Structure 1
Amino acid sequence: MRTQPSPRSHPKDMDFFWTSLALLLTVPHIAGFQCYSCDGDRDCLETEVCEEHQEQCSTTVMTVISRPKISTYFLKGCDISGKPNNSISHFSGNQVVFLAEEYCDTELCNKISPNVVDVLVARGHHRRTKDCYSCTTADKTCYNASLMLMSCARLEEDCVEITSFTTSTELPEDEQHIKGCGQLSHCQASEPLGFQNQNSFHLIKCCNSSRCNSDMQDYKNTPLPLNGVTCFSCEGNATHGCSPEAVTKIQCQGPMTQCLEASGIHGTTGDNSVVKGCASPSWCNSPYTSVYKNLGAIHSRCCTGSFCNNRIVDGTLKPSPRSQAAPTAQVQQILLSTTLLLFVAFLLSSGSS
């Protein structure tokens, strides 16, 4: 019995195969994750295709009330995962500023913007809401004796205070300070959220009774007391910023009693990035490393004891079975960026004053 010869592939069949393969490889880019995108005083229905490292859609709304005028600013687009939904309201000169930012993780999910006008109109209608001190760096009211009082709009709002500054001599004016009413993720009255390294200082404080945010300390010129812990400090990647020769040592302040190291994808460049420094235990269990350092798909580790944040090698956090540190976590939530809120607040408050 004669065996039939196996059929040979026809050149046209091979052309079809490679063409099909090329189409399959390009479809993910063509049909990539999309979000609504706009930047200005009008809401929008324009869309953008997100980069590979951008896994969520964001919506930021800022409303400024300066009687009788109400102005609203919208910012929508793609962003990395791992930032918490937050809102804050405060006085800036003779204006009331309300900011809110929300994140969602399905395609084109950021169509509807938070309606902050309704919240502001309701301000003062609830008798049980808190009265909080309010100030901003924009109108230079945070370090004098003339703090203003504001009534919070909602029962669930606390009195809040956010301090963020860069210690680099290259950016001496990069300081942000806000007091007011707000809802900030993972912020508890029992412990401040704090992080510091050689580049920056961040402190977030919440309290749940009226007029409790009266602290007037200037943390830049009057630092918190040292707590005896020393950590490695750096920001960047394995070759620039966090290379072995670029890592420095920093003495930790106040509630920042643990050493932190984290690696992730930078939200702007899409490159791997590393952060090391001192952190409070509450910061270690929160998403604020993603917020302030703009890192997505983050893997972070906090540990107790000086110089214990030494496990990131070549930009990657290496596991250690003997480590007593908290387990590595990847934050994947529906969340919002306080840093962006602050930036927009200071930008627009300064421009309209």
Structure 2
Amino acid sequence: MEMAQGLRLLLLCVSLSPGLTLRCNFCTGLPYDCKESTQLCTLDQTSCMSQAFTVVEGGNITEWTYKGCSQGLVCNQSVYTDLSYKQTYVSSQCCISDFCNTGTYYAQVPVSGLSCSICQGNSASCAASNLASLRCAGVQDRCMTIKTLYVNVSISDVVFKGCGKSNLCERQLEYNAGGARVYTQVSCCGSNNCNQGVQSVTVNNSLNGVQCYACNETGKGECTTPTNTIVSCTGNMNRCLDVVGFPRGNTLLRGCCSKDVCWGLSASLSIQASQKLYCCQGNLCNNGKITSYFSSGSTTAHNGLLIGGAILVLIKGLWTMQ
């Protein structure tokens, strides 16, 4: 009897020992805004899982993500159901090391023969009706048009057309780093070569009461802390941002931005492995003190989000405008 009790006590200690149990990120919510916490797994939960759901019904797309511990019963699977009026996609992936289920995860949506118009130019050159066509592949389930407007003394635009994923649709990506204001609009459609037109991009010049530090690093120390340049934010730009290079921790860009930029869901901006993007709310909160960004009012865009282009595309755009 004493031996059995001792064995049960030993098993209980093992199950409660942080060093011998798997730890996973836990959250439920939108794929691009799932607030992660720590979950301590039980002994039979040997994997960390990310599971995503996408439902398409009546032209509306609903996405959801779950992260947590798993027994491995539904790992690395994709399920697709089509009820004519509603399509449902469910995907899961698992890993077996502590906190390995990090980053943004979407349901893997199959593509069946979608073709989209392709173009790289401006509003005039990409509005033609005789554009070349591209057969989509992988999880590309939408035809997309991405238009970026640069507003300074004059206005210029850049337009991209092609295949993309539905999680990028209808994003409004705006920022102001002091040299120029940049507005990106992503529009999507779901039938063959439906993306032949070019949408308009709304520019809101109304001050919203937020002020942020601003700089654009060109190698001359413009973003060396402290930064004295301040910009008054307009329209949807109600966040302050700080793009930091790692491992040096040097700031590459500061300014105002819209909340979609903070989520990292930009079709013309992605965070590279050597960069992190921090957002905060409150006047002049992007003061270069990285630890201050980890408050309840701050967000960090996930690394490794392949969303097309690179952040340098927009930064270089700012350089050429100055």
Which structure: larger Rg? 1
TM range (shorter): 0.3 to 0.5
TM-score normalised by L of structure 1: 0.42
Looking at both structures, which has the greater relative contact order when contacts are Cα pairs under 8 Å and sequence separation is at least 6? 1
TM-score normalised by L of structure 2: 0.46
